[in-house]
Amino acid sequence: QVQLVESGGGLVQAGGSLRLSCAASGRTFSRYAMGWFRQAPGKEREFVAHISWSWSGDRTVYADSVKGRFIISRDNAKNTLYLQMSTLKPEDTAVYYCAAKSTIAATSYDYWGQGTQVTVSS
């Protein structure tokens, strides 16, 4: 049984930093893509960041809204995904979800966590 559990959310002032974690169990995701998404009340879920495996190292992709401020990474030994967030803005307030694909060539994310709340005050 695959399970993804997010943690690290909370309340932070604008300009501050926060690190989210996603602990995976049930399978190893070191060579499969994983990502972070977020959803604010009344809005659709949106893509935040993505990390995938290659022979030369992990590849990362970011939404334009977070590029330069957020860093996605993972610790394969711990089977854990991270999202380091800095220079946070009130518009970053949302529930953040961890997701993982089931195969290298999967076209969509198959596994999702329950989410962790991030609130940025102005």
- Which parts of the chain sit beneath pLDDT 50? none
User: Sign of dihedral through CA atoms 39, 45, 49, 55?
Assistant: positive
pLDDT of amino acid 36: 98
- How is the beta sheet containing 80-85 ordered, strand by strand? 3-7, 18-25, 80-85, 70-75
Residues 10-27: pLDDT tens digits?
Answer: 999 999 999 999 999 998
pLDDT of amino acid 113: 97
pLDDT of amino acid 56: 83
pLDDT of amino acid 35: 97
**What's the burial of 59, exposed, middle or buried (CB within 10 Å: 0-12/13-18/19+)?**
exposed
pLDDT of amino acid 104: 82
- Angle 109-17-37 (CA atoms, 0-180°, nearest 5)? 15
